[in-house]
Structure 1
Amino acid sequence: MQQARPNPCALAERGRRARRRPGTALANAVKLRSKHYIIIASGDALPAGMAAQTKQANGTVTSLLGEAGLAMATSDDPNFATKAAKIPGVRTVINDCLFQAFDARQERTAALPASHQTGVANPTGNPFLPFQWGLTAIQAPAAWRTGAQGADVVVADLDTGFDLTHPDLQPNIISSASFVMLPGQDQDAQYRGLGSSHGTHTAGTIAAADNSIGVIGVAPKAKLMLLKVLGDAGEGSFSWVINGIIYAADHNADVINMSLVASLPRNGKYLDEQGNTINNTKATQELLVALSKATSYATKRGVTIIASAGNEGNDGNKDQSWVRIPADATGVISISATGPMGWAKSPNTCDLDRFASYSNYGTPAVSFAAPGGDYAYSNFTEVTTMAGFYGYTWAMDMVLSTDINGGYTWLAGTSMAAPHASGVAALIIGKNGGHMDPAQVEAILRASADDLGKPGRDPYYGYGRINAYKAVTQGQKGAVAGM
């Protein structure tokens, strides 16, 4: 099939966007919500009668997560936090916050027509597998040949809305829900935004079905629980994320994938809802406590939690100005990104494990690395033919996955790396008979990862770049020996 040649004007705009690190301008975009609060228990559970006691403090409970030791509340009383903090058994009351996990309008994207025919034979029959260099990097096809495909494992993907009718996702979707409370956004998980769908993309990387259509996911037989915790433009609230985590844990998820990051300032300088700078020295600590209560609740119920490390190119060893949520929360496995440069020109020799130009790094900020793609190829006007597709060389260094309207798009980020790792976690759990302790899953990931960079744990690759084949073959033996 003859492919349309790239549009030079569109190329110039995409090139300008690609030179910017995603998320750089978003680090300060955390706003405390004046009338929305998170109530944090001093113990593992909330005290009895929380709703009634909150009402006495002039507040209304909107979400009661008793066993996690958390509640959400609203109040018009400016002194509500002080009053509610005096309730026996309450540690503190903190303002909820809004954050911009990413700006969906500024995502670097390139589309692959769903109708494209590669003319390249591949063992799965899924036509776009030749473009999925990330699966090659982690040896996913070899893992599938052992019989490990994530059957019956439930992965909860917490993200923006999703294309719930996408033919590559629909066979594996078992449920969906939305926790987003934004004016004008319908209260379901369907994506209705502009541009590409971040959530649809991450879901496809995890578990696009093996159905001879389009792409294939790392765990093509895993089941998807699609939970909308971000608005379609990438904006989120801590309360939405917390509710999504608890929901996933209470509805038998085995893995949670969170391709999202909020950067909380350690110096306590936040914004209010009008954009004015305010000082709240305890907000960062207490918001981390709140998220950690939610993640601890989930891990105690057997959920392996994986999150992206962030895209600011930040060296966490030197610059400790920020707390990355949820990556820094208790029990969360944090993933940095790798990506080739010029892969389409030399697919058989290109280094697939090159550390991505934008990825955050540091010890202990990074647990593992996984394919996230890159857009740093210097020649933004160069085009290459790959598997019959005539397109930009830089675009094909990114990760190809599902998108809205049954389409397919290349994106790059640690957001794309995390679902590769979540898919491997699903393969591990499925291979070992189902529900597993998260500590055991992480031990297998460690035992099977390819140790890149400096020997042992290093700031870039953590314990190594994940390897699906080793994880479902030698990983179990190594993990048991090392525990």
Structure 2
Amino acid sequence: MSVSRRGGSRGTAVLGAVAVVAAAALATGVASADASTTGASSTYLVVYKEKTSTSGAGSAVAAAGGQVVATYAPISVVVARSASPDFAAKMRRATGVEGAVATTRFASAVDGGAVSADTAAATQTTANVAGLPGLNDSLSGLQWDMTQIKVGEAHAISTGDPSILVGDIDTGLDYTHPDLAPNVDSAASANCVSGAPVPGAVAAADDNGHGTHTAGTIAAAANGIGIVGVAPSVKIAGIKAGNADGFFFPEAVVCSFMWAADHGVDVTNNSYFADPWLFNCRNDAEQRAIWTAERRAIKYAQNKGVLVVAAAGNQADDLSHPTQDATSPDDTNPVLRTISNACAVVPTEVPGVVGVSATGNKQMKSFYSSYGISAVDVAAPGGDSILQLTPAAPNGRVLSTWPAALLTVTCLPARRLVDASGATYCYQQGTSMASPHAAGVAALIASVTGDTGGALAADLQRATNPIACPADISPYAFFPGVDDGAAQRCQGGRGQNGWFGAGEVDALKAVG
């Protein structure tokens, strides 16, 4: 999300007692009315019992007054559309169906991270800036994040193998950007927004900016232009699940993982939270149907050897000890509700998913980053514009690629950068920025070991530098959890704790 409250960027939110504004890096999403109650056509997830055949779904959906959009037989899930207000009720009575729910109200938003408000400052145009060891592109001198995790040193050994494919499940990517074009795999890219994949990089073009930013961190080419990604020689697929407003609807999330599983993707980056419910609770029928479908899709991808890497979120919440959810549903009007460990964040808390917290340039946990002893596996640079300003990171944020057409639309003025070639970039912060660093390191590991899935996840956790819980957490006193209002706390030892997991990722260890 890394740009809104979870990992991406949408609207404004208040983080903590001091009312730090979570600036909108993207256009504010406007929620539509629930079509299932207005008579307009709505999209539905129809979830059959696990391992039940969906061969009769077409007839059942038609009989209930709908049309099939896509059938995902391996996970017994169907995406349908209908204008009938009782479509879901009819489908729930169909043979083999476990649940059916309209998804119109159920979107998640990318979250670029809690950020302080930017003022004035026009777009900056810069000539080449001094590079860093092993990083020689024109803006490499601004990439404190890459220096911190030893990317330059790693590139002396490996820049990644072109046979490795990273699927960036996000808002798409700018396949024409000069730092991304050399590495985009168009055949493996798709637009999943409708719930049915539309193949090709053109279809998956980014109309938001968030996906282009995360893609650049993963695989921006080492071509002398702009920045360098963690794994600049691997291939990247844009799998568009988020729309222009940064909303990720459940049918798009399901479609994306099924596409990744069946198109040779080795690693997926997921900088968002799925479903409008930050915490998905098993005792709620609507939430259960949606997260059952999403979790099945993730498991299907994992069974095909896909490593799923996901942002922990930007709520400063302890995901391992949830008590309240004040964020959901984030596409309409959030309602405060009491929750427990029966509720979980998707995809971060799905078994086998590598959860990533964010660090800044002082290698402290970022003030906004969510955490949890059972949820965070590794940490990576995501930026911190309040607690971790340094000479190397004067604004605390991470620089990466941004679509030229959106630079003055979805990137705030003080964050814009145009290098001497005319290529466009934007500074952002959030766990959305941390997750692609970890995904890029995983791609480097896969390049040198050939490992996949669970073995690759274990490799990634070993390719880290452990960071102990800080003795003094007073700097975080002003940033309690957004949802429960509780003071931040760090549990665990140096080798595994709730703030940093096994530690901050290290690209040199990944290839050494």
TM-score after normalising by structure 1: 0.78
User: After the TM superposition, which residues 13-412 of structure 1 pair with which residues of structure 2 at under 5 Å, given as runs?
Assistant: 19-21=20-22, 34=36, 35-44=42-51, 46-96=53-103, 97-102=105-110, 113=124, 115-120=126-131, 122-175=133-186, 176-181=189-194, 188-193=203-208, 197-262=209-274, 264=277, 281-322=284-325, 323-340=344-361, 351=362, 353-377=363-387, 394-395=394-395, 397-405=396-404, 406-412=423-429
Q: 1:87 offset after TM fit, Å?
A: 2.7
Q: 1:328 offset after TM fit, Å?
A: 2.3
Q: Which stretches of structure 1, 4 residues or longer, exceed 6 Å deviation after superposition?
A: 29-32, 103-112
The amino acid that maps onto 2:379 is A
Partner Cα separation in structure 1 for residue 252 and residue 370 of structure 2: 24
Does structure 2 conserve the Cα–Cα contact (< 8 Å) formed by 1:36 and 1:74? yes
Q: 1:100 offset after TM fit, Å?
A: 4.2
Q: 1:283 offset after TM fit, Å?
A: 2.1
Partner Cα separation in structure 2 for residue 187 and residue 98 of structure 1: 26
User: What residue number does 2:431 align with?
Assistant: 414
Partner Cα separation in structure 2 for residue 265 and residue 220 of structure 1: 33
**Where is the helix percentage greater, Structure 1 or Structure 2?**
1
Partner Cα separation in structure 1 for residue 35 and residue 503 of structure 2: 39
Q: 1:93 offset after TM fit, Å?
A: 1.4
Does structure 2 conserve the Cα–Cα contact (< 8 Å) formed by 1:249 and 1:303? yes
Partner Cα separation in structure 2 for residue 464 and residue 103 of structure 1: 23
1:406-457 per-residue CA deviation (whole Å, 9 max, x = no partner) reads 3011100000001001101111111114xx3310001111222222123232
Q: 1:145 offset after TM fit, Å?
A: 1.6
Name whichever of 32-41 and 419-428 sits farther off. 32-41
Q: 1:30 offset after TM fit, Å?
A: 11
The amino acid that maps onto 2:355 is S
User: What residue number does 1:442 align with?
Assistant: 457
* Counterpart secondary structure, 2:458: helix
Partner Cα separation in structure 1 for residue 375 and residue 33 of structure 2: 24
The amino acid that maps onto 1:432 is T
The count of corresponding residues between Structure 1 and Structure 2 is: 416
Percent identity between the aligned chains?
33
Distance 1:249 1:324, change over 3 A: same
Name whichever of 29-38 and 417-426 sits farther off. 29-38
1:333-357 per-residue CA deviation (whole Å, 9 max, x = no partner) reads 11110012xxxxxxxxxx2x11001
1:76-118 per-residue CA deviation (whole Å, 9 max, x = no partner) reads 2222222212333322212324324136799767887464221
Q: 1:268 offset after TM fit, Å?
A: 7.1
Partner Cα separation in structure 1 for residue 352 and residue 132 of structure 2: 41
Partner Cα separation in structure 2 for residue 73 and residue 141 of structure 1: 48
User: What residue number does 1:462 align with?
Assistant: 501
Distance 1:47 1:438, change over 3 A: same
Q: 1:126 offset after TM fit, Å?
A: 0.9
Q: 1:68 offset after TM fit, Å?
A: 2.1
Does structure 1 conserve the Cα–Cα contact (< 8 Å) formed by 2:372 and 2:498? yes
Distance 1:148 1:165, change over 3 A: closer
Distance 1:121 1:371, change over 3 A: closer
Q: 1:129 offset after TM fit, Å?
A: 1.6
* Counterpart secondary structure, 1:257: strand
Name whichever of 165-174 and 130-139 sits farther off. 130-139
Partner Cα separation in structure 1 for residue 261 and residue 281 of structure 2: 31
Listed as ranges, the gaps of 5+ residues in structure 2 are 1-11, 37-41, 196-200, 326-343, 405-422, 469-492
* Counterpart secondary structure, 2:345: strand
1:377-423 per-residue CA deviation (whole Å, 9 max, x = no partner) reads 599xxxx986xxxxxx642x211111111301110000000100110
* Counterpart secondary structure, 2:69: strand
Partner Cα separation in structure 1 for residue 154 and residue 273 of structure 2: 30
Partner Cα separation in structure 2 for residue 179 and residue 412 of structure 1: 26
The amino acid that maps onto 2:500 is Y
CA RMSD of aligned residues (A): 3.3
Partner Cα separation in structure 1 for residue 169 and residue 191 of structure 2: 9
Distance 1:103 1:431, change over 3 A: closer
Residue 429, structure 1, aligned to residue 446, structure 2: yes
Partner Cα separation in structure 2 for residue 50 and residue 283 of structure 1: 20
Listed as ranges, the gaps of 5+ residues in structure 1 are 1-13, 270-279, 341-350, 387-392, 474-483
The amino acid that maps onto 1:98 is F
Partner Cα separation in structure 2 for residue 220 and residue 227 of structure 1: 18
